Chain A
Amino acid sequence: MELMAFMEAMGTSGIPIIAAFFIGLMTAISPCPLATNITAIAYASKRIDNSRHTLLVGFLYTLGRMFTYVAIASLIVWVGISTQAISLFLQQYGEKILGPLLIIVGIILLGLIKFNFSQKNDRLGSLKEKLAHKGFLGAFLLGVIFALAFCPFSAVLFFGMLIPLAIQAGDGFVIPAVFAFATGLPVILFSFLLVKSVNKVGTIMNKVQTFELWMRRVVSIVFIVVGAYYTLNKTLGMW
């Protein structure tokens, strides 16, 4: 059976959860989400010394995506807000903001701009910092923001296929959550594999720290490149 025929059979399955999962997988490999997912994989792989950490970051990124998709689906299914209005708004502004945002984040991660922190004594502040340092908060927020950036094709999959499914089932939570999990699944898998293999090479060469420094630089560059992709895509309409 051909891959697309299989995806169609699964994506139009009579069992909504299975359909949602496969529509999510389709989304994960479509151009725009793929670009954001590559960025997320890079982000999750920042700390190459700890593959458990990478898995957690991958899960939090997926949780962030889940938050956004469930929020939108619930607003449509349970609050009754017009799909058309939300969809057109997000397609119009979502990705326009994303490109420049990624470039800025990339520049900050690269260390070209440095900030001084003055609230280190504050308990809540230090907890937040701890979370942020581990990349958990950042991963969640990346998921939230990336999911908001709808490109034409991901909008087709979400608003054209998933939302009608959720409306039909009257479910604004489980169906979008399963969909979100599938969109983030490649991030969890690939970042885990990447960290495992890079860490192994680093250990063999006894250069884990050097590898980590380079990993951080690569991550920053990935952010900038993906940011440029979004900016150019929106301007030139290449995809």
Chain B
Amino acid sequence: MKHYLLLFLLGLVLLLAGCVNVNQSSENSSSVNLSNSTINSSICGVSNNCNVSSVSNINKVEVIHFHGTNQCYSCKTVGAYAEETVNTYFADEVKSGKIIFKHINAELSENRDLAVKYGVTSASLWLGTYSNDGKFSAEQNTNVWYKIDNKTGYMNYLKGIIEQKLAGN
């Protein structure tokens, strides 16, 4: 009986700890003003048909692989294949600065602002688009996670997505 009580108490502590943080988070969220942008970018990520037609004149595209300090196998693969895609198919754009690829550890304090800007919630691949008139839009791509056992399929898919971004679609 006692060990169930122990389990219950520990569970309660976990939940309470979660709640306390939730309250703190809700206070913080207003200061960083991310709630709506996070939700919008996440929705785009699911449907993968995020409408960025308003950004027709593309200045640069950022492809960012966000991860934690402790990375899972799939997380590393998603990042590695994305990097290879960019280096293989967009070498000229990388040289000219039109495309930027980064692996970013979202847990490090120096990357916090960038993680907040993108609305990162977990290990993820994001495409950030900057237009010539200074507009920024971010889209998480979750489909890549289903393609990590098929490198060619992954790279072809992501190549198409990046091309769309460069074209302002």
Interface residues of A (CB under 8 A from B): 2, 4-5, 7-8, 11-12, 30-31, 71, 75, 79-94, 97, 101, 104-105, 108-109, 115, 117, 128-129, 132-133, 137-138, 141-142, 144-145, 148, 150-153, 155-161, 163-165, 167-168, 233-234, 237, 239
CB neighbours of A128 from chain B (8 A): 1, 4
On whether the beta carbons of A142 and B22 are closer than 8 Å, the reply is: no
On whether the beta carbons of A101 and B42 are closer than 8 Å, the reply is: no
On whether the beta carbons of A152 and B147 are closer than 8 Å, the reply is: no
Among residues of A, the one whose C-beta sits closest to the C-beta of B70 is A237
> Which one of A5, A83, A168 lies within 8 Å of B121 (CB-CB)?
A83
Closest 6 CB pairs of A and B: A85-B25, A8-B146, A115-B2, A155-B122, A164-B42, A82-B29
B124 to chain A, nearest CB (A): 6
A17 to chain B, nearest CB (A): 14
A174 to chain B, nearest CB (A): 17
> Which one of A71, A89, A156, A159 lies within 8 Å of B21 (CB-CB)?
A89
CB neighbours of B4 from chain A (8 A): 128, 132, 137-138, 141
Q: A101-B10, A138-B4, A152-B70 are in contact. Are A160 and B34 (CB under 8 A)?
A: no
On whether the beta carbons of B46 and A155 are closer than 8 Å, the reply is: no
Give a binary string over B91-119; 1 marks a CB under 8 Å from any A CB, 0 the rest.
00000000000000011000000011001
A interface, over-half SS: helix
Task: For the A-B complex with A83-B119, A89-B25, A164-B42 known, give 20 more contacts whose Cβ atoms are closer than 8 Å.
Answer: A5-B146, A11-B146, A82-B25, A82-B29, A85-B26, A93-B17, A97-B14, A105-B7, A108-B2, A115-B1, A138-B7, A144-B11, A148-B18, A150-B122, A156-B74, A161-B142, A165-B46, A168-B43, A234-B70, A237-B70
The answer to whether B132 has its CB under 8 Å from any CB of chain A is no
CB neighbours of A160 from chain B (8 A): 42, 45, 121-122, 124, 140, 142, 145
Cα A86 to Cα B7 with chains together (Å): 22
